[in-house]
Amino acid sequence: MEYIGNNNFLFQLNNKSRSASFFLLYILSGAFFLAAICFFIFTNMNIPLLVAIVLAIIYFILFHLFRPCYFEMLVTETELIINYYSVATALKSYQTIVIDSDLICGFEIKNKNKGMTRLLVLTIKSKFGLADYPPVSISILSKNELNQILHVLSKLTGDKT
């Protein structure tokens, strides 16, 4: 793969600081719940232990439903590159989507879990018709970042049918 210098990007956006904050929150809340559970075990406090376990389970289920992700979008003259990974896990699974600009024909923002999760779905032209890429979570993008992404994607898909 050929390296592209930063000066060749027409558009570049990432939520590195915000995703790092969510990852730190994830790790610290895990440590907090672990410490609370250990404390309740060592002091033989069964009711608070059960409450702490139930709260921890609910908290982490909601955290995973929110699907916080690091998101980076890069646009060159010829392609759209999206890098992302979940920050709601200790193990990172880095994902990349690379699409030729000529193939992008649409996009959609889907809300799931009663609006708690926002997903970006990109549609491309393939030799078999239209195809959707797997959804990418954009839940922790700020309103300004989301508006920038929508503007750029609209420009990329605007003159295509």
Q: What is the pLDDT of residues 60-85, one digit of tens each?
A: 999 988 889 999 999 998 899 999 99
CA distance 84 to 69: 6
CA distance 79 to 137: 20
- 91 pLDDT higher than 90: no
CA distance 145 to 152: 11
CA distance 14 to 18: 9
96 token code pair = 């990349």
Q: Are strands 104-112 and 117-126 parallel, antiparallel or unpaired?
A: antiparallel
Please tell me which residue, 114 or 73, carries the higher pLDDT value: 73
CA 85 from centroid of its chain's CA atoms: 6
Of 43-52, 82-91, 134-143, the one with minimum mean pLDDT is 82-91
Q: What is the pLDDT of residues 17-66, one digit of tens each?
A: 999 999 999 999 999 999 999 999 999 999 999 999 999 999 999 998 88
